[in-house]
Amino acid sequence: MALVDYSSSDESDSPSKLELPAFLHSLSADPTRFTVHEDNAELHQMRQRSFAHEVGQWATSVYIDCSLHLCHITSALSTSDALNEQTVWQRFQACEKIHLSLSKTWPVRYHWIDNLVQSLVTSLANFPRSFLGLCTTCESAEHLKSLVMLVDRSVEAFRGPCYYKSPKFHVSFFWCNGDIQRMNTGLELNRLKSSANTALQPKHAKPQITVDTISCKCGNKLFAIPLSQ
């Protein structure tokens, strides 16, 4: 047996450094596991997330897509001279997707998505198609509440929150940051509402659409769930 003489660091004036092999220099970190996501509000028109971004979690919502049927309303408001000359209106931006929400937005794990969609398909299999007007009547509101109850079953099964207890069903066409009612006078707001109503009269006053499909969006995945005929 031989004894190996190890010199101490004190005995070496310039100790040599261990270096990584050259092929390891070109390797990068795993972005999925190690990159910290920094949310940039400027990429989302300065809108704030309702929950923090987390890898593997997909923002999910269930809604009625109204874009195809109601895009003419957005056009009518956008081209209104009376609206465009108002400073208040210039703060508004058109909504990217015209829809009526049937759930809140909540995070769903990627491997749950297929099961969630199947759960919605099963829950809504026997729900009849409906007619939806811009001004929701008491009758249609009750119909939508029944639809929300079915959606809630699937949402709760996948750790999501139930929809509002007393929902005010609506379709949004434009939005803006901040509390517009606090930033403007009552006179300005009344003028804005009057101009909007004028732009929609009489041609666009009471549009009605047939609802035969419910949409479920999970991140960038979109699923269409048919209602019974």
Segments making up each domain of the chain, as ranges:
60-126, 129-199
Decide if pLDDT at 42 tops 60: no
Q: What is the pLDDT of residue 224?
A: 97
Task: Round to whole Å and give the CA distance between 37 and 122.
Answer: 35
CB 208 within 8 A of CB 132: yes
Mean pLDDT, range 124-134, rounded to an integer: 78
Query: Quick one: which of 167, 160, 183 has its CA closest to 108?
Result: 160
Helix, strand, coil share (%) of the chain residues, nearest 5: 40, 20, 45
Residue 15 confidence (pLDDT): 52
Tokens, residue 70: 């109601």
pLDDT grade for 149, boundaries at 50, 70 and 90: very high
Share the mean pLDDT of the chain: 81
Work out the average pLDDT over 70-82.
92
Task: Please say if the pLDDT value at position 152 is more than 90.
Answer: yes
pLDDT at 189: 93
- The answer to whether the beta carbons of residues 228 and 126 sit under 8 Å apart is yes
Q: 117 CB contacts (<8 Å, ≥6 apart)?
A: 216, 218, 223, 225
Residue with tokens 């109503």: 197
Which pLDDT score is estimated for 128?
86
Taking 70 as the threshold, does the pLDDT of residue 18 lie above it? no
pLDDT at 49 over 60: no
Res. 115: pLDDT tops 60: yes
Q: pLDDT tens-digit profile of 154-175?
A: 999 999 999 999 998 989 999 9
Highest mean pLDDT among 30-39, 101-110, 165-174: 101-110
| Of 24-28, 168-172, 183-187, 215-219, the least confident | 24-28
Q: What percent of the chain has pLDDT over 70?
A: 72
pTM given for the model:
0.76
